[in-house]
Structure formats: C-alpha cells, structure tokens
Amino acid sequence: QSVLTQPPSVSGAPGQRVTISCTGSSSNIGAAYDVHWYQQLPGTAPKLLIYGNSNRPSGVPDRFSGSKSGTSASLAITGLQAEDEADYYCQSYDSSLSGSGVFGGGTKLTVL
C-alpha cells in the first residue's frame, strides 16, 4: 500500500493527451512538499521527468507537464508517442514519516 495513490494503468492513442493523478494527504503533498515525477522504461533506471511540481529538466520535451493542487498532483502528456510507453511514478516526502521519501505505486502507460 503506497502512501501516494496512482491509477495502475492509463492508455491513449498516438497524438492524444493523457493525465496521471497522484493523490496524497496533508502530511505529504498537502504539507507543501514538492512532487516529482519519474519515467521508467523497461529494464532501465528511473529518469527524472518533472521536479518541483511543474518544472522540466533540460532535455525533457514540453509535451510533459506537471501540476499540483491541495493534496494531489497530476502529470499530463500531450501528443502521445509510442516511446512514451513506460511506467510513471510520483514522489514526495512525508512529515508523519520523519521526512522520509514516499512514492506512488506507479502507473503503466500504454500507447494504443
């Protein structure tokens, strides 16, 4: 049972827009901790996709965007491409766990 809740799977056709939600609580996302998003392609290490709720590291396409409101956050992917098929994880920290890091359970994105 993950501290942050994500849908297990989402899907979309090429060119479409999908969103992945990440729901937390008042001790993590709602406590003003930043939310970060990672993309994990099969057999590889996770890669930072969005940091500080809505910022993209250099090299990440602007098709990826993040937002945060209250105790939830979202990752949006527009103009879906086949290479976006991957697992996506949200991550934050939790004050009720002495500031430990916490992850969502992950969302498998399938490009139809």
Give min distance, CB of 77 to another protein, in A: 18
> How big is the site for another protein, counted in residues (CB under 8 A)?
28
Q: What distance lies between CA 45 and its chain's CA centroid?
A: 15
Write phi, then psi, for 84 (nearest 5 degrees). -80, -10
Residue 45 interacting with another protein (CB under 8 A)? yes
d(CA 80, CA 17): 6
Among 46, 63, 78, 95, binds another protein (CB under 8 A): 46
The smaller minimum CB distance to another protein, of residues 15 and 57, is found at 57
Site for another protein in 70-89 (CB under 8 A): 87, 89
Q: Are strands 36-40 and 86-94 parallel, antiparallel or unpaired?
A: antiparallel
List the structure tokens of 89. 């994880």
Task: For residue 102, count CB atoms less than 10 angstroms from its CB and return exposed for 0-12, middle for 13-18, buried for 19 or more.
Answer: buried
Q: By CB under 8 A, tell whether 48 contacts another protein.
A: yes
* 15 strand-pairing partners: none
Residue 51 or 64 having the CB closest to another protein: 51
- Which one among 24, 28, 33, 77 touches another protein, defined by CB under 8 A? 33
Report the interface residues with another protein, using CB under 8 A: 2, 33-34, 36, 38, 40, 45-48, 51-52, 55, 57, 87, 89, 91, 93, 97-106
